[in-house]
Structure 1
Amino acid sequence: MQKFYDLNMILAHKPWRIEQEDFQRLTRGEDSWSLSEVIHGIILLVHFHSLTTYFYGCEINESLRRNRNNCCEMENHLASSRPGSRLSLLISDDESSSLDTSPERSPDRATDLENELMHSSVEIIDKEIRRKLSTPDDIPPDQLVKLEALRKKMEQLRRSSADSDELAERFSKIKEQSCELLIAPKQENLLLNTDIGLFIDKPDFTYEDFFCERNCKGSPTFRVQDYSWEEQGSSLVYSLASAELGSLLSDKFKIAQTMTYRTLGKHKNVDTTSLREAIWNYAQCLFGIRYDDYDYNVVNQLLERDLKAFIKTAVCYPERLSSDVYTIVMQNLHESEKIHVLLMLMEARMQAELLYALRALKQFMT
């Protein structure tokens, strides 16, 4: 597994740096991996990487922290109110005698506390989900105006007649602007002070803007017309792993991109295709991926600066997301629509990592 460490680190933060040599180190020498094992390992890794976008993005981390505090309070309450329970025996003053003589230490009684805690936790999580999925009736007036303006922009969009040079120029403009976005400051990595910190090498290795000069020099823009998931990426998964796995990944990407309730906040029967495309393509743009036939000018028309900053944080620095950011950004959308945005960002990041890894693997094979 140690052989996979460097590849995992690069894949998570700077996938454009993956090279053929990374696979050479994995597949040759002692304890080498087969190509099939390598591709399975990569698919597992990108799932964990992309899940952090969803995990931090929809406040699951903070919800778990709140629930954990509630559970601790509940444990203390149940322990004090039930002298015969297992937890009260563990914290009682005469612990040794209680453990030896208590008549209430049957297996059924020992699990009562766990059952009550689990039931209470399920209720807490259920309330949290219901709260998030409830329809917002108190959208501020200024947000309603922004929502209406966005809806009109989407309706008025026309297919661009710009030539390839103009489209390339518009992409360059987007990438320059992405470097200027203000992102939440780096926080202390608390994992370094835990047992798992012993296994973390190079903790300062994190995402850097792809379009910074030092990154662009050795890593040209990834053009989807030259290597796409639909044409080349999925085929490599089919051949090295399984057709079923390739199909499942393709279905995941397609569903995330095309799923729609045809709503935009309180507006119904809205075609959100252009908005979904802008979110997906901007997320992958941050990893240096460009769709040659896409007009990136649409990104600036449909995505406000704070939303672009949220997208960049979610896919590049998910650990820096906070509940305040989640609440402020997209506050004119339903919670279900926000979750859909996070699902798109999660899948867009996963596909971006896969594209770089699979392209390098194919080059290594040939």
Structure 2
Amino acid sequence: MNVNADPHASPSTYPICSVCQKMIFDKEPSRSIHRLYSTGPSSFIPEEEIVEAWSLDMWVVEPHAELLLAELCSPTGRLDHLTQVMGLHPHYLQAFLRCQFYLLRRDGPLPLHYRHYIAIMAAARHQCWFLVLLHVQEFYRIGVCLEWLKGLQYANEKLRNLNTLNKILAHRPWLITKEHIEALLKTGENSWSLAELVHAVVLLAHFHALASFIFGSGINPDTLTPVSSYCTCELTGFGQLEQDILLSKSPESELESLLERMRRLREEKEEEEASEEEMVIRFEKEKKESLFVGSTDFDDQMISPSRVSRFVEDAAFGYQDFARRGEDNPPTFRAQDYSWEDHGFSLVNRLYSDIGLLLDEKFRTACDLTYYNMASREGVDTSMLRRALFNYVHCMYGIRYDDYDYGEVNQLLERNLKVYIKTVTCYPERTTRRMYDRYWHQFRHSEKVHVNLLLMEARMQAELLYALRAITQYMT
């Protein structure tokens, strides 16, 4: 989108972008404008594809009821951009809306204004202005404790005490211990009850993960947004993206290669399964290799933290690789020792009635979702690929499944996709259009949105596993 220059200014006032050769504002901090990233819900996905998905033909299960629920769940009272993009997968959206509606609106341990303030705190850790703005609006609608919106230091001590858990859960959940839980449960008149804390933990994990989906899908704010003086091509990866695609192999050969690798892996699994020792070795190898997955696309100035900084303490605290070079690392979290199905689900459901059922439905819907096609091919079993995506996220968080062969991850997920996964999952605010477009050139946008659903749910479940394990250790 062109930036409208001041017609009365001298042409020399504004530099020319070296990539797209269009005039842009100079980069003095005082010079900024209001503009939309694009006219549609996403700056990554063509609006026509989203509009087509929202045709009633796509909504075969209670369409009117779900549309009404979508509107009720939005503070704006209408279908916001997040809901429109997620609507590319109607069955998942239904599970998501039911869960989020229960978390924010239905009976539960926490009062409504606490729930929305916790959402603001969680979203602010990733500079997600989209979510912060939505829940600030909701806070105004409720109309209580409005002074809290001045910043975290204005909130009550009970919520401020949640800050340490918030930042650790968002960036390094493996560091959570039963001592963190005890500190919240035994603080005198500002103590949290176990039920309240479980509600808060689910809210924090939900909105951390939702920020990943929002940035990973390029979802635009629903209102005009202040953007500093950068050319639009810097935000979308214009120019370099076209060069990358020209240099890459043809989309058809990329698809054929992936299908062939999936076929070969299935045959090898049928012929001979890897030993338990070999499975452990492959996990450790994949975990260490994730250290070297990074990107040169990061631009710390792309999203200014100033709008959300008042809700953040210790802003320098961020993600660090679970397996750090030259350091003693935390022990691997064996999923068989503490799993969602056998442990987390029952604990959550006992302390916060029915939320476990809704979370489980959402996890399962994202993981089981399939249309039996891949790009232009139909009748394809994608279960192997879906599990690789989910388990790679857990691998980066130090979670290992004894029954999974991590050699499949390297076979199925090429490097550009791994860069995208790590960025969306670990520091989503740094996701760019270029990263989104560099992987799976031939796939539909709806398939990439499905990838983001899997990353979001894998991240949320990882956070919950670490937090719920610490709560269980405290209780025993």
> TM class by shorter-chain length?
0.7 to 0.9
**Contact 1:209 1:215 survives alignment (8 Å):** no
Gapped regions of structure 1 (runs ≥ 5): 71-139
Distance 1:290 1:47 in 2: 22
1:161-200 aligned at under 5 Å gives the runs: 161-183=273-295, 184-185=297-298, 187-188=300-301, 192-194=305-307, 196-200=308-312
- For residue 100 of structure 1, what is the aligned residue in structure 2? none
**Contact 1:210 1:216 survives alignment (8 Å):** no
1:274-325: per-residue Cα shift (whole Å, max 9, x none)?
A: 0001000001111001111100000011110111111111100101101121
Q: 1:143 to 1:189 in 2, by over 3 A?
A: closer
Distance 1:21 1:191 in 2: 34
Distance 1:25 1:344 in 2: 33
Distance 2:213 2:333 in 1: 25
Q: TM-score, normalising length from structure 1?
A: 0.76
RMSD between aligned residues: 2.0
Q: Would you say 1:155 and 2:311 are equivalent positions?
A: no
Q: CA deviation at 1:181?
A: 1.2
- In our comparison, the structure showing a higher alpha carbon Rg is 1
Deviates more, 1:339-348 or 1:206-215: 206-215
**Contact 1:192 1:198 survives alignment (8 Å):** no
Q: CA deviation at 1:215?
A: 6.3
- For residue 355 of structure 1, what is the aligned residue in structure 2? 465
Distance 1:176 1:199 in 2: 34
**Contact 1:256 1:344 survives alignment (8 Å):** yes
- For residue 6 of structure 1, what is the aligned residue in structure 2? 164
1:72-108: per-residue Cα shift (whole Å, max 9, x none)?
A: xxxxxxxxxxxxxxxxxxxxxxxxxxxxxxxxxxxxx
1:248-296: per-residue Cα shift (whole Å, max 9, x none)?
A: 1111111111100111100000000100010000011110011111000
Aligned AA for 2:334?
R
Distance 2:305 2:446 in 1: 35
Deviates more, 1:4-13 or 1:328-337: 328-337
Q: 1:141 to 1:166 in 2, by over 3 A?
A: closer
SS at 1:64's partner residue? Answer: coil
- For residue 126 of structure 2, what is the aligned residue in structure 1? none
Aligned AA for 1:149?
S
- For residue 50 of structure 1, what is the aligned residue in structure 2? 209
Q: CA deviation at 1:334?
A: 0.6
- For residue 114 of structure 1, what is the aligned residue in structure 2? none
Aligned AA for 1:280?
F
Q: 1:201 to 1:189 in 2, by over 3 A?
A: farther
1:161-185: per-residue Cα shift (whole Å, max 9, x none)?
A: 2111111101111111110112243
From 211, 221, 224, the equivalent of 1:68 is 224
Q: CA deviation at 1:188?
A: 3.7
Q: 1:318 to 1:69 in 2, by over 3 A?
A: closer
Distance 2:314 2:179 in 1: 20
Distance 1:239 1:215 in 2: 38
From 206, 222, 229, the equivalent of 2:318 is 206
1:80-95 aligned at under 5 Å gives the runs: none
- For residue 122 of structure 2, what is the aligned residue in structure 1? none
Q: 1:216 to 1:232 in 2, by over 3 A?
A: farther
1:118-133 aligned at under 5 Å gives the runs: none
Q: CA deviation at 1:327?
A: 1.7
1:89-132: per-residue Cα shift (whole Å, max 9, x none)?
A: xxxxxxxxxxxxxxxxxxxxxxxxxxxxxxxxxxxxxxxxxxxx
- For residue 243 of structure 2, what is the aligned residue in structure 1? none
Q: CA deviation at 1:152?
A: 1.8
1:319-350: per-residue Cα shift (whole Å, max 9, x none)?
A: 11011211222222111110000000000000
- For residue 125 of structure 1, what is the aligned residue in structure 2? none
Q: 1:341 to 1:214 in 2, by over 3 A?
A: same
Q: Percent identity?
A: 44
Distance 1:69 1:33 in 2: 37
Q: 1:352 to 1:164 in 2, by over 3 A?
A: same
Q: CA deviation at 1:214?
A: 6.5
Distance 1:147 1:189 in 2: 33
1:196-244: per-residue Cα shift (whole Å, max 9, x none)?
A: 4234211110000001047653x101100111000001010121111x2
Distance 2:299 2:370 in 1: 34
Count of matched residue positions in the alignment of Structure 1 and Structure 2:
292
- For residue 175 of structure 2, what is the aligned residue in structure 1? 17
Gapped regions of structure 2 (runs ≥ 5): 1-158, 227-247
Q: CA deviation at 1:189?
A: 8.2
Distance 1:168 1:205 in 2: 31
Aligned AA for 1:181?
V
Distance 1:10 1:245 in 2: 23
Q: 1:250 to 1:215 in 2, by over 3 A?
A: farther
Distance 2:468 2:407 in 1: 29
SS at 1:333's partner residue? Answer: coil
From 218, 225, 232, the equivalent of 1:59 is 218
Distance 1:202 1:215 in 2: 23
Distance 1:265 1:257 in 2: 18
Q: CA deviation at 1:21?
A: 0.8
- For residue 142 of structure 1, what is the aligned residue in structure 2? 250
Larger RCO: Structure 1 or Structure 2 (Cα < 8 Å, ≥ 6 residues apart)?
Answer: 1
Distance 1:245 1:69 in 2: 34
Aligned AA for 2:391?
N
